[in-house]
Amino acid sequence: MTLTRRDFLRGTLGTTIGASVLGPGVLKAGWKASGSSLVTVVREKNAMDADNNVNTAALKTMLDQTLIKLTGKTTPKDAWLSLITPDDIIGLVPTPHLNPTHPEVVDAVKSSLVDAGISAEKIVDAQGGPDKPEACTALIGLPGLKAHWLTGIGTVMKLYIMYSGNPQKYHNENSANLGEIWNLPFVKGKTKLVLVDALHPLCDKGPQVDPRYKWAYNGLIAGTDPVAVETVCLRIIQEKRKKMRGESWPLSPPPICVEAADKTYGLGTSNWDNIKVQHYGWDEGSLLG
């Protein structure tokens, strides 16, 4: 089956994606949430200065708050230890280029893990080919928030594209299949946390950066349900686009990978009503609708 503009207008996208990816009548069961998926959005007005340099002290505070609010624990250490164990080989997976994850964010996560008693030798860079996740027992996704001209959004679902060993296989119409990478045997179940660098996101023309479409959101977005996190990211990008133009400005092409990750691959929920968004800190321009 072929997806068209009319499927989106009729609201039959989920059915059409399921049928086109898996064949007619083979739609998988969607996300079976035991409750709602929690996504935290922590923002700090001074997280970057006027020249967009990262304030590392503010970033540390934001990260600590994210960990505590997301897990319900009282300290960052307890929060980490509820997500991972000291025996884990922990792979950090940042967005490597074209509006990449700020290195300060990666460093802050590393330091926080070490402070929690994790040996530095057990924390590795896991962005790259299939051998990277194979060597890890736990993954922490650290994508940069950005729109993408081929997939609509290029943040969470696209983060593991190199793990496929064949990234071009997931371009264009095949971007609906990005979720299958998360179900590869050497990836499945390893993602313990998705922490999105939303300090300085890109809302159009990604992945090639046009600074006119970047803005200081100064946020960290986190959750353990990757689809819910992506759905919140999508909301922020779409609201920013609407604000920039003063009218509806839908992402084109539409980000089919998000709904497919839910309805076809069962990775989480893309239903806004099933996502519990908790926002902390700087409220102005939160774009959460």
Partner 1 sequence: MLGKLPDKFCVYTIFLFIAVLVILDGRVFSLKNGGSDLKNGRIDMNQSAPLLPKSVGMWTRPDSPQVVTDKNIFDYMDGAGELYLGYRFDRLDVYEYSAQAQKEILVELYFMKTSDDAFGLLSLDWGGDPVESISSSQDEEAADFAWPRALYGEGLLRLWTDNVYARVMAMQETPESKQAVLSIGRAIVKDRKSPPGPELMGRIKHSLLADWSLRRDRSHFFRTHHVLNSLYYLSHQNILDLDLKCEAVAAQYENRVSEGDKTRIQFLLVHYPDSNRAKQALGHFHEVYLPDHPFVTKTGPSGEIAGLFSVEEGWMAYSNRTEYIAFVFECPDEKTARLVLDQMF
The phi and psi torsions of 221 (rounded to 5 degrees) equal: -120, 130
Using the rule CB under 8 A, give the single segment among 123-131, 138-146, 208-216, 269-277 that binds partner 1.
208-216
Q: Is residue 119 part of the contact set for partner 1 (CB under 8 A)? A: no
Q: What residues between 69 and 98 interact with partner 1 by CB under 8 A?
A: 97-98
The binder of partner 1 chosen from 254, 266, 279, 280 (CB under 8 A): 254
Least distance between partner 1 and beta carbon 173 (Å): 3
Least distance between partner 1 and beta carbon 149 (Å): 5
* Contact (CB, 8 A) for 92 and 140: yes
Local structure of 230: helix, strand or coil: helix
* Contact (CB, 8 A) for 139 and 126: yes
Hey, what are 46's tokens? Answer: 């001074």
Q: Is residue 276 part of the contact set for partner 1 (CB under 8 A)? A: no
Q: What residues between 138 and 197 interact with partner 1 by CB under 8 A?
A: 148-151, 154, 167-168, 171-173, 175-176
The binder of partner 1 chosen from 49, 131, 210, 283 (CB under 8 A): 210
Q: Is residue 212 part of the contact set for partner 1 (CB under 8 A)? A: yes
- Residue 207 preceded by cis peptide, ω within 30: yes
Q: Is residue 256 part of the contact set for partner 1 (CB under 8 A)? A: yes
Least distance between partner 1 and beta carbon 214 (Å): 8
Q: Which residues of 58-83 are buried (b: 16+ CB within 10 A; e: fewer)?
A: bbbbbbbbbbbbbbebeebbebbbeb
Least distance between partner 1 and beta carbon 162 (Å): 10
CB atoms within 10 A of CB 280: 17
Q: What residues between 44 and 63 interact with partner 1 by CB under 8 A?
A: 51-52
Cα separation, 130 vs 60, in Å, equals 31
Using the rule CB under 8 A, give the single segment among 118-126, 137-145, 192-200, 203-211 that binds partner 1.
203-211
| CA dist list (Å): 9 to 6, 70, 101, 128 | 5, 35, 34, 37
* Nearest by Cα to 276 from 33, 32, 62: 33
Rg for the chain, CA atoms, rounded: 18
Least distance between partner 1 and beta carbon 164 (Å): 13
Nearest 5°: CA angle at 191, between 202 and 161? Answer: 50
Size (the chain), residues: 289
116 vs 162 by CB, closer to partner 1: 162
Q: Is residue 252 part of the contact set for partner 1 (CB under 8 A)? A: yes
Least distance between partner 1 and beta carbon 65 (Å): 29
Least distance between partner 1 and beta carbon 210 (Å): 6
Q: Which residues bind partner 1 (CB under 8 A)?
A: 2-6, 8-10, 51-52, 97-98, 148-151, 154, 167-168, 171-173, 175-176, 205, 207-212, 250, 252-254, 256
